[in-house]
Amino acid sequence: MKNIGANYAGDNRCTFAVWAPEKEKMVLHLVHPREQIIDMELDEFGYFQAEAEDIAPGTRYFFRPDNEKDYPDPASHFQPEGVHGPSEVVDHSAYAWQDSNWRGLPFKDLVLYELHVGTFTPEGTFEAIIPRLDELAETGINALELMPVAQFPGNRNWGYDGVFPYAVQHSYGGPAQFKKLVDACHQRGIAVFLDVVYNHLGPEGNYLGHFGPYFTDQYCTPWGDALNFDRDWSDGVREYFTNNALHWFEQYHIDGLRLDAIHTIFDSGAISFWDLLHEKKSLLEQQLGRPLYLIAESDLNSPKVVKHPEAGGFGFTAQWLDDFHHALYVLIDEKGKERYADFGRIEQLAKAYTDGFVHSGEWVKFRKRRYGASSAGVSGDRFVVFNMNHDQVGNRVRGERLCLLVDFGRLKVAAAAVLLSPYVPMLFMGEEYADESPFFYFVSHSDKDLVKAVQEGRKEEFAAFGFDVEPPDPQAEDTFNQSKLRWEVRNQGKHELMRQWHKALITLRRTHPVLLNVNKSDVHVNTIGQEGFSLHRQSADGQQHLVCLFNLSDQAISHTMPVWAETWEKLLDAGDAQWLDAGEPTGNPLPAQTGAGQTLSLPPVSVTVYEGRVGSR
């Protein structure tokens, strides 16, 4: 493993290395606290290296390819002056970690919580998150999934315009504060996942092309030329990104990574980028003595994503299951069909529960082709499901969250549909208390032409979807400020009620033997017309059963209780008085106990969970 970047060795000694295989000369330009020019030596693999003394942490520097112009280090660990400024030497050994007893959490036990650092608190920093951790843990959340924190231009960005994959965003607090947050999470039993982007770099401050052939025009992505994972000189690119994953695991004690849009990463080599990443990750797991997880965002609908490389797979722990979101959303929000024309039938949601992928080889109108393959035999803990994520909210022209699209009753049903599933659930920040602040797309570029292109691009994108209003200006600071959570309301009225509803569902999920079983062979769904469904799950030993009754319509529907148990006892009912908001109709909660073959009238927009008593079969 080649340690590129500035590697501080202690005693004011530091080794600098940069990959630039087609350059003849490389100069290390130290600019603070004193200026110095050091020539670097080239090895046979295209790496320039220099060892320097009297280099203290905090020293700032540039590299100068072919001695022509200064650029920041492509593997910089800190950019305190932003994407165009000098890189800074970081002493990673200086932080005194307090998590030596942390051994991670089983992936199947996680309740993920996607979070944008800049908008989660008024301060928008890593350190400001720490006081909120206890309340998240009390609700039942045990894993943060941070949107990208790699250095991006300016102070406001979703993070997908990052241009220094090894550097921690300076406006969030830099490396020290990030470590402090991870440490605080581990001390509270909370795992930390980080969203990383290995399919493209942002446009502003993207200097990698000035060093080496990081990009190729052999493939095209939505963001331009693809990263070069399989063409000439691709070894250095593969090392750069696979070692980046190890960087987060080792230096920041991250528990897992979520990889953005893996379907836009192209590699036709005999040993693929995924093979290499999985091999390095597995070796590091053995060295660290704790599990390291990889989650994929994939548009392939292919079970290969979560299969082991020896079985021809990519080796991911799990992947986001967009089909589950689409199938559920169109049944919860009557306008959902406008966004997802290929969804809308209750049978599709049933398939999402029992199989995973809804589209598994059928003709799909949106794609104008047959799409996907079956995931029926794939374990439930290989998928992550959600009602919202940054894309689902942020790519609406008004940035509305689900709580502004549907009524309170449907919001409870949607939460239950996710948390009672055999999959690993993920909440979007503020979802647990029905935060009503929008989440817009925002940037803070310094290039005026780029700003104009982003502004016009967003307008064109929404116009293509037929929206009759213009999106807010992504560059405006107010767009960013409007997207900040209204944390102060979480313990008030309906917001507190929704938080308690999530807590009750998570507690049930975490403690009931049936819900701990992620084998999809033990999951069955019976549809009730197009209005509702019965989700039946059982424990691994087959001795305990849960029946989750969902009515998604505005009329009562009938359902006959199954015969797997003679007696059924109610565990949770969204229609009970304790879960009703002031504006909800009183309704008729279902009986506390019922029997096999008993026909129940399921109230409109409701969810009720019954347990089959042990020994009553």
Find tokens 């080796």 and name the residue.
315
Tokens 């290969």 correspond to 304
User: For strand 112-115 and strand 87-88, is the pairing parallel, antiparallel, or unpaired?
Assistant: unpaired
User: Residue 92's closest CA among 12, 10, 193?
Assistant: 10
**Could you tell me the CA-to-CA distances from 528 to 531, 550, 552 in Å, in that order?**
6, 9, 10
d(CA 121, CA 310): 44
Q: Got the DSSP string for 16-44? A: EEEE-TT-S-EEEEEEESS-EEEE-EE-T
Cα–Cα distance list, 470 to 394, 461, 483, 526 (Å): 14, 10, 17, 43
Look at residues 277, 207, 266 and name the one whose alpha carbon lies nearest to residue 239. Answer: 277
Q: Which of 155, 110, 150, 115 is nearest to 132 (CA)?
A: 115
- Which helix or strand (DSSP H or E) is residue 340 part of? none
Catalytic residues: 260, 297
Alpha-carbon distances of 503 from 19, 140, 571, rounded to whole Å: 49, 6, 14
Residue 54's φ and ψ, nearest 5 degrees, are 60, 40
**Beta bridge partner(s), residue 1:** none
Q: How many degrees, rounded to 5, is the angle at CA 385 between CA 514 and CA 539?
A: 10
Which residues have CB under 8 Å from 538's CB, separation 6+? Answer: 514, 517, 522, 544, 545, 546, 564
Separation of alpha carbons 332 and 353, rounded Å:
16
**Residue 397's CB: how many other CB atoms inside 10 A?**
18
> Can you give 470-482 as a three-state secondary structure string?
CCCCCCCHHHHHH
302 alpha carbon, distance to own chain's centre: 19
Cα(130)–Cα(422) distance, integer angstroms: 30
Cα gap 117→181, rounded to integer Å: 11
Q: What is the DSSP code string of 132-177?
A: GHHHHHHHT--EEEEPP-EE-SSS---STT-SEEEEEPGGGTHHHH
Residue 603 DSSP symbol:
P
